[in-house]
Amino acid sequence: MRFSFLFSSLVLLHQAAAQLSGSVGPLTSVSTKKAKKTCNVLDYGAKADKSTDLGPPLLAAFNACSSGGLVYVPSGNYLLSTWVTLSGGSAWALQIDGIIYRGGTSGGNMIFIEHANDFELFSSHASGAVQGLGYEFHAQGSISGPRILRFYEVTNFSVHDFILVDSPSFHFSMDTCKNGEVYNMAIRGANEGGLDGIDVWSDNIWIHDVEVTNKDECVTVKSPAHNILIEDIYCNWSGGCAIGSLGANTDISDILYRYVYTWSSNQMMMIKSNGGSGSVENVVFQDFIGHGNAYSLNVDSYWSSQSTAAGNGVEYNNITFTNWHGTEANGAQRGPIRVICPDKVPCTDITISDWAMWTESGTSQTYTCRSAYGSGSCLRNSGSGTSSYTSTSTATAAPSGYSAPTMAADLKNSFGTTASIPIPAIPTSFFPGRKCGPCRAKSRPNSECTWTAGRSRSDAKAYREHIEVLQQHIKTLEQSAYPQDDMPNNVFSYHSETPTPSHTRSQQSGNGYNSSPTGLNVPVTSLHGRFSSLPTTISENISPASAMVGSIETNTGTQEFYGGSSASNFMTQIRQAVAQQLGDRSYITNTAPFSSLGVKKDPQRRNSQWRDFNLDDCALPPKSRADALMAVYLDAVHPLYPFIDRVALMESYEGLFSSHGSIEVDPSLLCALNLIFALSCQLDTTASAEQRQTSANVFFRRAQKSLDIWKMDSSLESVQVLLLLGQYLQSTNEPLQCWVFVGAATRMAQSLGLHLPETSTNVASIRQREILRRVWHACILMDRVLAMTYGRPTMISQAVASVTPLPLPIDEEDLSMGTALKVVDSLSPTRLEFFLHSLKLYEIMEELLNATNSNIIRQNAPAKPSGVLGFRSAHATPLTEIDDKLVAWEAELPDHLRRLPDLQSPARSSSVNVFYRQAVILRQRLLHVRLLALRPVLSSLIAYNGGSSDNSANFGTNLSYRIAHQCAIVCIKIAQEAIDLVHQYKSTQWATTGFIAAWWYNVLFVYSAATVLVAARLRPLWQSEISEAAILQSWRRAINILETYKDYSKSIPKLIVTLQMLFKQVPKSYLSRDVATRQNSPSKQMHPGSDDHNESAVDAQIHRNWDTSRYHNTAIQDEEVDGIPSLISDIDFFLDADDLSWLNSGPIDL
């Protein structure tokens, strides 16, 4: 089900922001606190042995770091026998990565935090927990044990990525706190009353993405409380959410509950009191789904489980219940709507709208209202006064639209009270379709808010009337924005009647109220392309004129990057100046050029491109086949090109396969998955060529169908898809398309500002920042790889490439969603180090490409070796300097990227094999770059007339020629090693590719090396260090390798034929040139009738320079080599001896 983006952005998000009165969360990042001081409990006497009391060491560590620092409880099992009170402290954090087990039996609070400011409690890997072992009390019928966690007078704080299990009493209480955020938590308690999940009586608190299992309060607000936003709550076999119990002097206002899913609980929402005084006002309960619950909505002002308090009753005013769907257990016994208000102070301005629930048992349900005034259901209109009344009605027909989705993790049974409760994992979804809430909401509102409406009832009514005017205006705008045929169905069918509390604020979040580091902020029953782990849409609906000449519109929220020379940038500066003069601060604060890169846009901005799919229509392969293909990608591709968030990708992948029926899917996800499957098929050297190509083509066609290239949003996911396209096209016969799509990815990345350092630096989330940098540097890497492959200039200059910092050498699993780096072992190797060292290698190669494209190389006349050695150009780097950099680069490699695998050693783990393959491929890349660096020297030495075979032995004291001669020898040895490396590891079958690069790279490496071997045959002098037999052995291996690949691509047989023809003809052509040179020499003038004036002269020269008996016994021009049939017969072709393009070009040019 969808709703209008215009409506949601102008009303619902405005409404959500209305609940918080200011910023929430810590004032200082964990990284800053950690950098100041880290107090590891192990250094203060703690032991992870589940027997030593953690209490005293934890207190000692706190005392050492309470004035600023990080208290750290590492992974492991700990026993807490002495409860700890951590009082005071500022700018400190408590990182609990281990599991703390209750050891003591006294009451109170196991962990009590009080009088703290700027505080954060978290687990870096979201698996830290406190196990209360409450069953030891509950089995005896007691709930008098300790609470697990209590906060008192804590300000500017957060609690996240943490698990609380089986508390003897309440799990987590926040008492008189302020400016706090609680998120990404799992609370699992026993099936017993009095074991509340979260209780809060505080100001300006944001609680979201929490699962609670117990049989009492799920997430409950108590008095006094103001400005609390509670969303994405999963009450999974619980007591349900509540407000209360309320008594005298109740003071609760500005509360918003939304996206609350309740399963098999006492109620979906209860407001409970008995007598008392004070008020509850300006409260909204929206977007509730429930199944199997006893009560749904239950307002009970005469709650019998509570003693009667002094007073006429609590006043309830301006309370809204909207968009509730689902079922209740038995609607005849406990109807879905029960609003019982105090007779002496009736409830007023109550609204019940968009309500559709039905009974699971029986054929009727009841609605009961008492002294409740407002609109909807059994409520009475207050026009005739507000005297007491009671009204009960019965429905015998199910309302339309009551059906609502369930959650796959709904418990089948409670955990009882007599056995230990297992520690759960934190869910990836807390409300149907909204995956993954905790990944969506790490950023917090930072800017101050102002009241826009008063507190009076008349103001509330006026505000609702104002909302109705806005709705009508929005509807008019949408009708003009959409052609009639394209108008979305039921634009206002979801939340269309949602009012807003009278206490409304204008929230402008600097960090992004709805940010999503993992990219899963999605509507109900939808799957979003999470592989970016980042904001999906950064711009849309941009007028072409706006980009060219600058828009005169006010801020549109688009995030395209335009440089200082663009008219659009100039117009933006003009608008900002005008806004500043006019005092329009809302515009000024909303136009930060990169602020939204850390902000998850509302998912509805993508709806124009989302498509409704039935899973059968997605044409996904069987799960087992998909898993195998995904494993190839994760083992063979991702460790080399880690520009997709591995963790987020797998969550989206698993979510897609676990969905049922019709779903709403971002086409970029399907496109990416199909490209991954296609690429994995192409990599599979264990399958036949025909089978591999057929399977790859099927997936590639599906990828083409799932995404319209012409309508791609300028988004990070689009950049990733284009890079995947480029990777796949490398394996095909489409070099032009590969070049174009990688170029398009680079241009799109630049349009997002990824080439600017501040784009990633300004992102608070470490994980978001790192993915931004990975994607940009993947563009750089692919650009340079293709420039090398195709012999073209790079698109991204070194000046631009070097500005944005490199990613951290940390794998996705260890990247934090928040602002703090996880504690990782710096000595442990990571997969990402390969990517970083490859970037540095290709940075050197980019200098080399600039040098080889300089004028001295491109001139028509053969270059002297001295010129090539120096690369005499204003923009070129001398060869010796490039070689020094390559040597230094190799020396800096970590051990795991130097160590080549021993094929005789026993089987290794997958992670070790990844490192082995990275080491081999890095060696292949280094050899190829060195080959490219030295090949021009070899070429010039052959081509330069002064270096003909007749004079090559006599260098005399010419230092340039002697150095060039040694460079040529090194070049030949490198070519041999490149061939031997593929020959040695090609037979390995790990991850279907073996320990070597993808087959298309191996073809490039081996072909380039083989052409050097052809050149090696032209100078007999080189045999002093490299024997002819060694060259011929390397040659046979090269042809053998290419033969095994010949069915992979139709171009490979052509390469083999080309090499064989070169091997046969090149020596003849060059010796013919030498003979002609001598014939034209005055000292050796030939007579027309002499034997030297014909073919025999060439043959004679060959015999003088080579041991032709060995050559003819093993030569490639014979029928076969090592059992490989020659693909050419006695073919002669003209080869210009001065044309060395066969040596200096790659296979792509053939």
pLDDT-derived band at 848, boundaries 50, 70, 90? confident
Please state the rounded mean pLDDT for residues 469-498: 43
pLDDT in the model for residue 669: 84
User: What is the per-residue pLDDT across 1100-1136, written as a single tens digit (0 to 9) for each?
Assistant: 443 444 443 333 333 344 434 444 444 444 444 445 5
What is the C-alpha to C-alpha distance for residues 442 and 535, in angstroms, rounded to an integer? 13
DSSP 635: I
Task: Give the tokens for residue 610.
Answer: 């989302």
Q: Is 101 helix (H, G, I), strand (E, B) or coil?
A: strand
User: What is the per-residue pLDDT across 681-724, written as a single tens digit (0 to 9) for each?
Assistant: 988 766 777 778 888 888 888 888 877 777 777 889 899 999 99
Strand 662-665 and strand 611-614: pairing?
antiparallel
CATH topology of domain 254-410: Pectate Lyase C-like (2.160.20)
- Do the Cβ atoms of 133 and 102 come closer than 8 Å? yes
What is the C-alpha to C-alpha distance for residues 598 and 763, in angstroms, rounded to an integer? 5
What is the C-alpha to C-alpha distance for residues 578 and 575, in angstroms, rounded to an integer? 5
- Do the Cβ atoms of 783 and 742 come closer than 8 Å? yes
What is the C-alpha to C-alpha distance for residues 739 and 791, in angstroms, rounded to an integer? 12
pLDDT in the model for residue 522: 29
pLDDT exceeds 50 at position 960: yes
Indicate the pTM of the whole model: 0.50
Residue ranges per structural domain of the chain: 15-237, 254-410, 569-584+849-856+873-945+960-1069, 620-813
Could you give phi then psi for residue 464, rounded to 5 degrees?
A: -65, -40
> Which helix (DSSP H) or strand (DSSP E) does residue 236 occupy?
strand 225-236
DSSP 680: H
Task: Give the tokens for residue 717.
Answer: 């996911």
Burial code (b: 16+ CB inside 10 Å, e: under 16) for 816-850 equals bbbbbbbbbeeeebbbbbbbebbbebbbbbbbbbb
More reliable by pLDDT, 1018 or 1068 = 1018
pLDDT exceeds 80 at position 1085: no
pLDDT in the model for residue 579: 54
Q: Smallest Cα–Cα separation from 135: which of 203, 191, 61, 60?
A: 191
H helix count then E strand count, the chain: 31, 32
pLDDT in the model for residue 964: 82
Q: Which residue has the tokens 């005469």?
A: 302
pLDDT in the model for residue 560: 57
Please state the rounded mean pLDDT for residues 544-556: 37
pLDDT exceeds 70 at position 5: no
pLDDT-derived band at 74, boundaries 50, 70, 90? very high
Task: Give the tokens for residue 706.
Answer: 């799932």
- Which of 14-28, 584-598, 760-774 is predicted most confidently? 760-774
User: What is the per-residue pLDDT across 146-166, written as a single tens digit (0 to 9) for each?
Assistant: 999 999 999 999 999 999 999
What is the C-alpha to C-alpha distance for residues 1117 and 120, in angstroms, rounded to an integer? 75
- Do the Cβ atoms of 356 and 331 come closer than 8 Å? no
User: What is the per-residue pLDDT across 87-109, written as a single tens digit (0 to 9) for each?
Assistant: 999 999 999 999 999 999 999 99
Q: CA dist 865 to 182, 938, 965, Å?
A: 69, 8, 9
DSSP 451: B
pLDDT-derived band at 361, boundaries 50, 70, 90? very high
- Do the Cβ atoms of 216 and 193 come closer than 8 Å? yes
More reliable by pLDDT, 4 or 322 = 322
Please state the rounded mean pLDDT for residues 335-363: 96
pLDDT in the model for residue 691: 76
Q: Smallest Cα–Cα separation from 717: which of 645, 654, 769?
A: 645
What number of CA atoms fall less than 13 Å from residue 781's CA on the CB side?
Answer: 22
Q: CA dist 847 to 799, 805, 851, 886, Å?
A: 11, 19, 6, 11
Please state the rounded mean pLDDT for residues 1051-1080: 73
More reliable by pLDDT, 819 or 750 = 750
What number of CA atoms fall less than 13 Å from residue 699's CA on the CB side?
Answer: 29
For the ranges 13-17, 842-846, 1058-1062, which has the lowest average pLDDT? 13-17
**390: which strand partners?**
370
Please state the rounded mean pLDDT for residues 934-938: 85
pLDDT-derived band at 214, boundaries 50, 70, 90? very high
The chain-wide mean pLDDT, for the chain, equals 77
Give the list of residues 6+ apart from residue 392 with CB closer than 8 angstroms, or none: 366, 367, 368, 369, 378
The residues carrying an active-site annotation are 216, 291
pLDDT-derived band at 1065, boundaries 50, 70, 90? confident
What number of CA atoms fall less than 13 Å from residue 1069's CA on the CB side?
Answer: 19
User: What is the per-residue pLDDT across 51-69, written as a single tens digit (0 to 9) for each?
Assistant: 999 999 999 999 999 999 9
pLDDT exceeds 60 at position 418: yes
Three-state helix/strand/coil letters over 591-633: CCCCHHHHCCCCHHHHCCCCEEEECCCCCCCCHHHHHHHHHHH
Residue 1075 CB: number of other CB atoms within 10 A?
22
pLDDT exceeds 70 at position 832: yes
User: What is the per-residue pLDDT across 307-332, written as a single tens digit (0 to 9) for each?
Assistant: 999 999 999 999 999 999 999 999 99
Task: Give the tokens for residue 519.
Answer: 């990219």
**80: which strand partners?**
102
Q: What percent of the chain has pLDDT over 90?
A: 46
pLDDT exceeds 90 at position 911: no
Q: What percent of the chain has pLDDT over 70?
A: 68
pLDDT-derived band at 1073, boundaries 50, 70, 90? low
User: What is the per-residue pLDDT across 989-1044, written as a single tens digit (0 to 9) for each?
Assistant: 666 778 888 888 899 899 999 999 888 877 666 667 888 889 899 999 999 999 98
More reliable by pLDDT, 1020 or 432 = 432
pLDDT-derived band at 445, boundaries 50, 70, 90? very low
Q: Smallest Cα–Cα separation from 326: which of 259, 406, 240?
A: 406
pLDDT in the model for residue 1064: 81
Dihedral Cα 918, 919, 921, 925, nearest 10 deg: 130
Residues across the chain:
1150
pLDDT in the model for residue 1093: 42
Helices (H), 731-765: 735-751, 757-761
pLDDT exceeds 90 at position 837: yes
Q: Which residue has the tokens 């680079």?
A: 746
pLDDT exceeds 90 at position 351: yes
pLDDT exceeds 90 at position 779: yes
Q: Is 880 helix (H, G, I), strand (E, B) or coil?
A: helix
pLDDT in the model for residue 737: 85
pLDDT in the model for residue 701: 87
pLDDT in the model for residue 947: 41
pLDDT in the model for residue 69: 97
pLDDT exceeds 70 at position 497: no
More reliable by pLDDT, 727 or 814 = 727
Q: Smallest Cα–Cα separation from 856: which of 844, 866, 843?
A: 866
Residue 312 CB: number of other CB atoms within 10 A?
12
Task: Give first-to-last CA distance, the chain, whole Å.
Answer: 54
Please state the rounded mean pLDDT for residues 328-346: 96
What is the C-alpha to C-alpha distance for residues 230 and 261, in angstroms, rounded to an integer? 12
Q: Which residue has the tokens 């590719």?
A: 993
Sign of CA dihedral 301, 304, 310, 312: positive
More reliable by pLDDT, 310 or 814 = 310
Q: Smallest Cα–Cα separation from 852: which of 782, 937, 795?
A: 937
Task: Give the tokens for residue 80.
Answer: 């807490």
pLDDT exceeds 60 at position 606: no
Give the list of residues 6+ apart from residue 43 with CB closer than 8 angstroms, or none: 61
User: What is the per-residue pLDDT across 872-904, written as a single tens digit (0 to 9) for each?
Assistant: 444 456 788 888 899 999 999 999 999 898 877
pLDDT exceeds 60 at position 568: no
pLDDT in the model for residue 268: 97
Please state the rounded mean pLDDT for residues 939-953: 57
Q: Smallest Cα–Cα separation from 435: which of 327, 519, 495?
A: 519
**175: which strand partners?**
152, 201
Helices (H), 412-456: 437-440
Task: Name the CATH code of domain 15-237 (choices 2.160.20.10, 1.10.540.10, 3.40.50.10380, 3.40.50.720).
Answer: 2.160.20.10
